Structure 1
């Protein structure tokens, strides 16, 4: 566990729900000053109240649109004005859009990239400016395992998360060349998290989005963030499934590419429940501010292990089918778009 750090200051984007809110409460419980950023002022105020009850030194809510560079700079300035420094900055705000790339509206794709890439770029610029000046600090960029092992029908998000991983590498190189040995950049790559993320995502697939098991609690990601502050690492996976998928993608990229496509089509997009097209929270925030999404992320460890075994076995089986040529993946799915139109229809009827 990370010891209480009196006067430590952490800035968290996307702090109104999910992993961001879990991180805020975890740092607050250890006596940190927390600066909370998200688009929803009402939810931020509630998170600030919860952080104060948990023992935060101070909790400062700052409504922020991370796609606005000037707004992110103001966020950093408010943190420095209030506390004199920024010890940790967690780039976490993210949105997603599910569906075939040519069926997701171009403006929705652009907003996902702006939030999930440029929001991190603006956050990194603001955070590292302060950290270089003070000579120390830790920037944590929350990427995703899909940044290493991409899946179909979520291309803008997968693209963004791969970019976030590359951003971390470039920033570490720059800091090393400049001699900033006490300024750290860490990339956190979670597996599926039990957050409101899936319900609030834009969806143009015609099918209900279901988190692909195993599903881990956002508190697990918060504990990982705390450990990264204590012992910075280049990259850290959250959940055994994330580490496994990354390793297998590196070792057998072709088989895992097709295996994950098979699993996505069978387990991540419902085969029995349709869904209307929705822009979700991509352009504007939705009401609510829960830590969890109700996807059974709080299951017992044994249950999560069984779920991990199931999804990994499924991916391996899919890869085996592809490799063996017994049932080529293309024949099994024949393209999700035709599968969706045939089974689901554009009007959502089955």
Structure 2
């Protein structure tokens, strides 16, 4: 790395801390009031960030269309939203199935008349050495994490073009920009999500779609039930150290509904990781690999191999917060 890069590298922590709070602060009551009566589709709403964002939208008076494979979890969330004064519609949906996603879109329009925002949040993770994870798990993950977002984005953009406005929010990851060892399908899936958003924004510039917005939200690792649901072939429990709480990403999604930003790196850890990789990619990737090997695998108790929720949903973990922090 060039000596001229070191001052910038040393300045990154201070800059990241200063910038980290802008998109993660909870919206003010006056801002949240602007969400009332608007309609949002949220995929992956049965737990984690999706559940948190849907609940916050419902509490703000929005109409929320809830999508996930676990109908019981969606129905419990819909009841919670309605108790909080919002309106919710639960639609059991596998995001990788085009017909089910089309049905989701049609149900939202039939019930509420239009869609103001579409949040593609559904995702799964598998961890393990690339060749140790069954090929069918890799392919199924890509179906959910990337194909599902392509389908959702396509349906949302078609609707937004027809009505002349709308906000698409795709949930990526810091892995969208930084390779992550032992996540051989997850990192590429999230990189695809980021590139999808960039392509759509380029097309909006070319066609002057000024009232249509595409945002990609990229968090650091989060303490959500994702890790309880993880496919795991490492031989150790699937855990991540130094995780952020899901509330940061929930706040970022709600703010994006109000003030769309093309790319949102959530929190100072995600910003440090991004800028560290921009300034010194080889060093960043080497340190990330060591951190992954030691901090995510070797230090944790043994565990049997599992495909987790990759192929079929699991009953455990229907909250917003995880249990493996």
Report the TM-score when normalising by structure 2: 0.88
Q: Secondary structure at the match of 2:313?
A: coil
Give the counterpart of 1:164 among 189, 193, 213.
193
**Aligned equivalent of 1:239, options 267, 270, 278:** 267
Matches within 5 A, 1:191-206: 191-206=220-235
Cα distance in 1 for residues equivalent to 2:273 and 2:91: 36
Counterpart check, 1:42 vs 2:72: yes
* 1:210–1:270 contact (8 Å) kept in structure 2: no
Partner of residue 286, structure 1: 314
Superposed CA offset, 1:70-120 (max 9, x none): 111111111011111111110000011111111111100000001000000
Q: Which has the higher contact order (CA 8 A, sep 6+)?
A: 2
1:211 aligns to 2:240 (yes or no) = yes
Please name the residue that 1:304 is paired with: none
Instruction: Check conservation: 2:98, 2:151, Cα contact below 8 A.
Output: yes
SS in 2 for 1:187: strand
Instruction: Provide the residue aligned with 2:54 in structure 1.
Output: 24
Q: Partners of 2:177 and 2:52 in 1: how far apart?
A: 24
1:240-279 matches, within 5 Å, as 240-279=268-307
Asked whether the equivalents of residues 212 and 264 of structure 1 are also in contact (C-alpha less than 8 Å), the reply is: no
| Residue ranges of structure 1 left out of the alignment (5+ in a row) | 297-350
Q: Distance in 1 between matches of 2:139 and 2:300?
A: 30
Whether 1:65 and 2:94 are equivalent positions in the alignment is yes
TM-align CA RMSD? 1.0
Task: Give the conservation status (yes or no) of the 8 Å contact 2:228–2:324.
Answer: no
Q: Tell me how far 1:262 sits from its aligned partner.
A: 0.4
Deviation at 1:272, TM superposition (A): 4.4
Q: CA 1:251/1:84 → structure 2, altered by over 3 Å: closer, same or farther?
A: same
Give CA-to-partner distance per residue, 1:40-96, whole Å, 9 cap, x none: 01111001011111221x100000010101111111111011111111110000011
| Cα distance in structure 2, aligned partners of 1:46 and 1:89 | 21
Aligned residues: 294
Structure 1 residue aligned with 2:218: 189
Provide runs of 4+ in structure 1 moved above 6 Å: none
